[in-house]
Structure 1
Amino acid sequence: MPEFVIGETDFLLDGRPFRILSGALHYFRVHPDLWADRIDKARRMGLNTIETYVPWNAHAPAPGEFDLSGGLDLDRFLRLVADAGMYAIVRPGPYICAEWDNGGLPAWLFRDPSVGVRRYEPRYLDAVREYLTRVYEVVVSHQVDRGGPVLLVQVENEYGAFGDDKRYLKALADHTRASGITVPLTTVDQPDMLEAGSLEGLHRTASFGSNAEVRLAILREHQPTGPLMCSEFWNGWFDNWGAHHHTTPAVDSAAELDALLAAGASVNLYMFHGGTNFGFTSGANDKGVYQPIVTSYDYDAPLDEAGHPTPKYHAFRDVIARYHKVPDSVPPPARPAPALSAVLRDPVRLLDAPDRFGTWEFHEELPSFDELTPMPRLALLRTRVSGDRPGILTFGEVRDRATVFFDGGPVGTLLREHHDRAVALPRANGELLVLVEDQGRVDYGPRIGEAKGIIGGATLHGEPLAGWDVLPLDLTVLPAPVTASTVEGPVAGPVLLRASFDADASADLFLDTGEWGKGIVWLNGFPLGRYWRRGPQRTLYVPGPVVRAGANELVVLELDTMLDPAARFVPRPLLGHTEA
């Protein structure tokens, strides 16, 4: 069997120097029917390795569960990598960041506030070991020394940005070895955090996107022998709702890649192909201001969100060709997607029929989302208040968006990013309803693992409000309309709408949400993700395998106001304005 080891200056594959030319491709962000296509396009750009994270919370949505089916079939993904003649790097965390909800850590793990987060704490480590055992049951047989593609396995992820608990890192490394992982183990950190995040015996690698020579020199100070590797070469960036679409000039990124390769370093492009935060999987950042991440994870990568080569793809391929042989053929350019349209109709209004969206449960004290099972992404809260004067409704903290209704009419919307906590009620005698939305759990920094929903309860006139009916919205089974009906003009949410359209064939589509407000979309039952008028993202990517030849059903949950109740598919993605 092949042998892959760390030599004095190089990675060694069967005793010969081997440079890793890797690209990040997250199987969980790409429709599984498209995995082989994306892997092949990495090979044709000149890469020899595919790197992926493993998202704990996607595989284990509840305690005791571990899903390896469909789009989470890591075994099949690694087999496809091997079938393409490529190698693999696996990064199972347990924390992955990745702009992914909660950095990949399952929210259920932190229902008990005494459970540690990314540190040597028994209950946390017990859960981590259980998770890693399940991952390594898949990965072990795919290691290169057993005839598979896996060259490296990473321990934790950019840990130096969070802590310096060496006992915790050693526990992860020890369990990894005990589980049968025999290939080299690595850590990754930004250059100024290498000391805190590394562990003796694990090969240190760095993450950066510029000034390669300087940052490689810092890495060499911390890693005196062995190959230099930038295992996150940031060739693009992610987007937040309400900001601009990030792009990096292809010529600049290519020059930085050239500097890396000229220095003899190995590299993993982050990202080669970003994919999409389908459903409710996107994370958020909070460094004083909460910033939820958009549905698209295009990342301005060499291969765009729909899997088409960009100018960066060709520029990177040209750079790689200066150092290594690349395949002769390149993927064809993107072609316009079908332009289709359909009328949205058959409204099911949440406030008129809440019982059709879930089951009410009574709580004397207002619970957070994390106290509910299963944890919702949206929940409706209901209580009655009485009094003879207007009042100020105040919440402890809103995570992340709360729309207040009084006697069926909208009063106001509170946003976490604005640090909103209070709204004036025109009178304090009637039914109070609050629709609360989790917009994505923080994926980086000290707020990882925090609870969602309303935190710290609510008061009116300074007095606590008790006795709440809570309805977690079940978004796995969406209610059908009782009767068919049309919609005229703008529509106020929260409301569920449907549209039917015919397609000539299965093909990628781009759904234009520019005239809609804020909400979630499903096509043929597949969760495409969130949209928001504030941008920058305007179109939602629809993977071809989701689209049927013939009849298709689109379902939209509009939470705000929809100016034009029509679904329009446009030829190309619209990811928003850039700084330029």
Structure 2
Amino acid sequence: MRLWGRTLGLQTENSQFLLEGMPFRIFGGSMHYFRVPREYWEDRMLKMKACGLNTLTTYVPWNLHEQTRGKFDFSQDLDLEAFLSLAAKNGLWVILRPGPYICSEWDLGGLPSWLLQDPEMQLRTTYKGFTEAVDAYFDRLMPIVVPLQYKKGGPIIAVQVENEYGSYAKDPNYMAYVKMALLSRGIVELLMTSDNKNGLSFGLVEGALATVNFQKLEPGVLKYLDTVQRDQPKMVMEYWTGWFDNWGGPHYVFDADEMVNTVASILKLGASINLYMFHGGTNFGFMNGALEADEYKSDVTSYDYDAVLTEAGDYTSKFFKLRQLFSAIIGQPLPLPPMIESKASYGAILLHQYISLWDVLPSLIQPIKSEFPVNMENLRVNDSSGQSYGYVLYETVIFGGGHLHSRDHVRDRAQGFRQLRLLVENRGRVNYGLALNEQRKGKLGSLFLEPQTVLDSSTTVKLSFLSTLHRIKLKTQCSYPSYSQDVRGTVRQRDLVNKQTKNQKTMKQKKPQKTKPSVNLILLQFRLVMLGYPFLLLCVLLQTEKTFSNLCFPLGFEVEGSWHFKTHTIFNTFRRNELHPVEQNLLKCSSPLHTIVELEEVETPGFYFSGEMYTK
């Protein structure tokens, strides 16, 4: 990588790129530093070089670098300077895509959720509340980026203005604002925009080269670039090598031969290309995005993307086919592909201890009390930046019956508990489309137990509390789940037999068999806790002649001691394929059991069951 004579940089002349006055074609690949552990950055870059690529492209996620308003993080896996410097060390040019909006199947398209505290917020426009936040962010970001530009000895040969704005296009002045925000802070390299074919004409900004995104090479799509900018080189900024996955859907697979043939066709037309993605990586934590067209669909944690490298960084058939293609075009030997990293198989992991959700609540911050429920972004936590991800527990006490309605005020998923507790999970904010301003999460309005409003307080469940859990005593068996739904009522006891006595009947004994002991059992109360699938947990308050006890055990699972139970299905609300993965894992809690007490189903609407109990 030349470090001298850097005065011209990347330029356009008629239908080709020039780098320092010499013809140049961009063979690029996307890899995002925030989706790959820092320890693997260099390995992935070396694999790019071995595939025949000369340029790396990456987004910059604002919502990771400024999770709390005014507090910036560019350390460790977010060390952008180290990432770009490593690209230079390994002979890769860089096209930087700093946003502020990045899409990328990333929560809210990379925009920090605290922007939504403003009820009038208009994202991706020249609305003052938005531009002031962008200016503050760019004031911190650009001093890192500017020294790493080509003309200053760094690897950055081009910078993208925003991202796919033609598909949003709510403010005709916005793209000019973003361009000036970059130029005024020292960006001197070639500017680019990036849109799909339908958005090209709406995403342009004067002085920036328009590029196009697609997977299928439709007839005339590259020639269409001539209608929006004449005598300019053609570039596919995002050639989609695969696609992302949604929860509940199949893993997307794009045929390797079809992909490579399309890449070859693009290159035969003289265009430059960037493979999106070369290596996808992982949406760590809660950072996945979502789509909302006909229905809301959240993206999975994996960003494998069926890309050129797997999520683990291993080679695919796409890699070797592309390597052969680029080698033929370049006309010289490519570096040997690095050896694959060794893998370990850890086998099944058996969990012997656990902490329930209810046990950790005392370790959290004090509950936030309010007259009405508060959405996550407006909770008074994280230095007034709200809660961006994870869970919020809303709770109140109900003093009557009725039909419970949310009226579409819960996003994205809630489960009910004993005192009417709603644990609301943010499954990911939409990252693409026209509904970005409506991506507030949590409880967005009141919950109604007709005719009155019942939910009026909230408790945040922060991830930072994990460090305090060592003070809580772990339980050694699964007595109840971390996620549940409670039902109260009484049950009908049909038969009650002591297990030990029953077993004795099958044994040959010299002495006469003892009669069944007299038991005067009065069932006072029970709670049914629904796990999200047909198996329930039963907590029963029992009184005999000599004892008074509260028994809790899962119905359909083994219970230690003499008494064993089984039930008819009380209700069957969820099919297994509809379960969240965490809930599916709860099925492995214990082993099946035998039993003798039957519970009759009583069809009473709402959260309550009733009946009578008698002994035999």
Using structure 2 for the length normalisation, give the TM-score. 0.75
CA distance in 2, matches of 1:330, 1:379: 46
Of 257, 262, 265, the residue aligned with 2:271 is: 265
Q: Does 1:74 align with 2:80?
A: yes
Name the residue aligned to 2:358. Answer: 351
Closer, same or farther: CA 56–298 of 1 in aligned 2, 3 Å: same
User: Could you say what secondary structure the match of 1:170 adopts?
Assistant: helix
State the shift of 1:517 in Å: 8.9
CA distance in 2, matches of 1:258, 1:179: 38
Contact 1:343 1:565 in 2 (8 A): no
State the shift of 1:318 in Å: 1.4
State the shift of 1:358 in Å: 3.8
CA distance in 2, matches of 1:123, 1:394: 31
State the shift of 1:352 in Å: 4.3
Name the residue aligned to 2:605. Answer: none
Name the residue aligned to 2:572. Answer: none
* Equivalent position amino acid for 2:587 in 1: L
Of 362, 368, 374, the residue aligned with 1:367 is: 374
Of 431, 434, 439, the residue aligned with 1:443 is: 431
Deviations 1:368-413, CA, capped at 9 Å, x for gaps: 11211231520111111112x44324344221000011xx3xxxxx
Name the residue aligned to 1:413. Answer: none
Stretch moving more, 456-465 or 177-186: 456-465
* Equivalent position amino acid for 1:562 in 2: L
Aligned 1:98-137 pairs, distance under 5 A: 98-137=104-143
Q: Does 1:398 align with 2:410?
A: yes
State the shift of 1:233 in Å: 0.5
Deviations 1:199-221, CA, capped at 9 Å, x for gaps: 12111000011116521111122
State the shift of 1:123 in Å: 1.9
Name the residue aligned to 2:497. Answer: none
Of 433, 441, 448, the residue aligned with 1:452 is: 441
CA distance in 1, matches of 2:249, 2:291: 13
* Equivalent position amino acid for 2:355 in 1: V
How many residues of Structure 1 are paired with residues of Structure 2 in the alignment? Answer: 487
Deviations 1:422-461, CA, capped at 9 Å, x for gaps: xxxxxxxxx2111110000110112214210112211111
State the shift of 1:339 in Å: 3.1
* Equivalent position amino acid for 1:142 in 2: L
CA distance in 2, matches of 1:534, 1:92: 39
* Equivalent position amino acid for 1:340 in 2: G
Of 281, 288, 291, the residue aligned with 2:287 is: 281
User: Could you say what secondary structure the match of 1:477 adopts?
Assistant: helix
User: Could you say what secondary structure the match of 1:214 adopts?
Assistant: coil
* Equivalent position amino acid for 1:41 in 2: K
User: Could you say what secondary structure the match of 2:394 adopts?
Assistant: strand
Name the residue aligned to 1:29. Answer: 35
Q: Does 1:44 align with 2:50?
A: yes
* Equivalent position amino acid for 1:463 in 2: Q
User: Could you say what secondary structure the match of 1:323 adopts?
Assistant: helix
Of 3, 7, 20, the residue aligned with 2:13 is: 7
User: Could you say what secondary structure the match of 2:420 adopts?
Assistant: strand
Using structure 1 for the length normalisation, give the TM-score. 0.80
Name the residue aligned to 1:433. Answer: 421
Deviations 1:270-292, CA, capped at 9 Å, x for gaps: 00000000001101010130000
* Equivalent position amino acid for 2:33 in 1: Y
Contact 2:375 2:441 in 1 (8 A): yes
Closer, same or farther: CA 113–484 of 1 in aligned 2, 3 Å: closer
Aligned 1:68-217 pairs, distance under 5 A: 68-163=74-169, 165-211=171-217, 214-217=220-223
State the shift of 1:465 in Å: 2.2
State the shift of 1:165 in Å: 2.9
CA distance in 2, matches of 1:535, 1:398: 18
Q: Does 1:562 align with 2:604?
A: no
* Equivalent position amino acid for 1:367 in 2: V
State the shift of 1:328 in Å: 3.9
State the shift of 1:319 in Å: 1.5
Deviations 1:463-483, CA, capped at 9 Å, x for gaps: 222532x21112123123633
Contact 2:150 2:157 in 1 (8 A): yes
Name the residue aligned to 2:489. Answer: none
* Equivalent position amino acid for 1:362 in 2: K
Q: Does 1:482 align with 2:484?
A: no
State the shift of 1:20 in Å: 0.6
Q: Which has the higher strand share?
A: 1
Contact 1:396 1:454 in 2 (8 A): no
Q: Does 1:382 align with 2:389?
A: no
Aligned 1:486-525 pairs, distance under 5 A: 486-487=476-477, 492-494=481-483
Closer, same or farther: CA 213–86 of 1 in aligned 2, 3 Å: farther
User: Could you say what secondary structure the match of 2:319 adopts?
Assistant: helix
Name the residue aligned to 1:299. Answer: 305
RMSD: 2.4
* Equivalent position amino acid for 1:225 in 2: D
User: Could you say what secondary structure the match of 2:46 adopts?
Assistant: helix
User: Could you say what secondary structure the match of 2:415 adopts?
Assistant: strand
User: Could you say what secondary structure the match of 1:291 adopts?
Assistant: strand
Contact 2:29 2:278 in 1 (8 A): yes
When Rg is computed on C-alpha atoms for both structures, the one with the higher figure is 2
Deviations 1:55-75, CA, capped at 9 Å, x for gaps: 000100011011100111000
CA distance in 2, matches of 1:153, 1:536: 43
Closer, same or farther: CA 563–204 of 1 in aligned 2, 3 Å: same
* Equivalent position amino acid for 1:438 in 2: N
Aligned 1:402-421 pairs, distance under 5 A: 402-405=414-417, 408=418
* Equivalent position amino acid for 1:337 in 2: A
Stretch moving more, 326-335 or 214-223: 326-335
Aligned 1:317-336 pairs, distance under 5 A: 317-324=323-330, 325-332=332-339
Deviations 1:539-580, CA, capped at 9 Å, x for gaps: xxxxxxxxxxxxxxxxxxx567612259xxxxxxxxxxxxxx
CA distance in 2, matches of 1:535, 1:339: 28
CA distance in 2, matches of 1:440, 1:91: 22
Gaps of 5+ in 1: 409-430, 496-515, 519-532, 539-557, 567-580
State the shift of 1:316 in Å: 1.2
Deviations 1:20-71, CA, capped at 9 Å, x for gaps: 1110000000001111111111111100010000000010001101110011
Contact 2:81 2:144 in 1 (8 A): yes
Closer, same or farther: CA 300–180 of 1 in aligned 2, 3 Å: same
Aligned identity (percent) is 37
CA distance in 1, matches of 2:40, 2:279: 12
Of 234, 238, 262, the residue aligned with 2:240 is: 234
CA distance in 2, matches of 1:102, 1:78: 25
Stretch moving more, 317-326 or 147-156: 317-326
Closer, same or farther: CA 8–77 of 1 in aligned 2, 3 Å: same
* Equivalent position amino acid for 1:381 in 2: Y
CA distance in 2, matches of 1:246, 1:301: 10
User: Could you say what secondary structure the match of 1:135 adopts?
Assistant: helix
User: Could you say what secondary structure the match of 1:343 adopts?
Assistant: coil
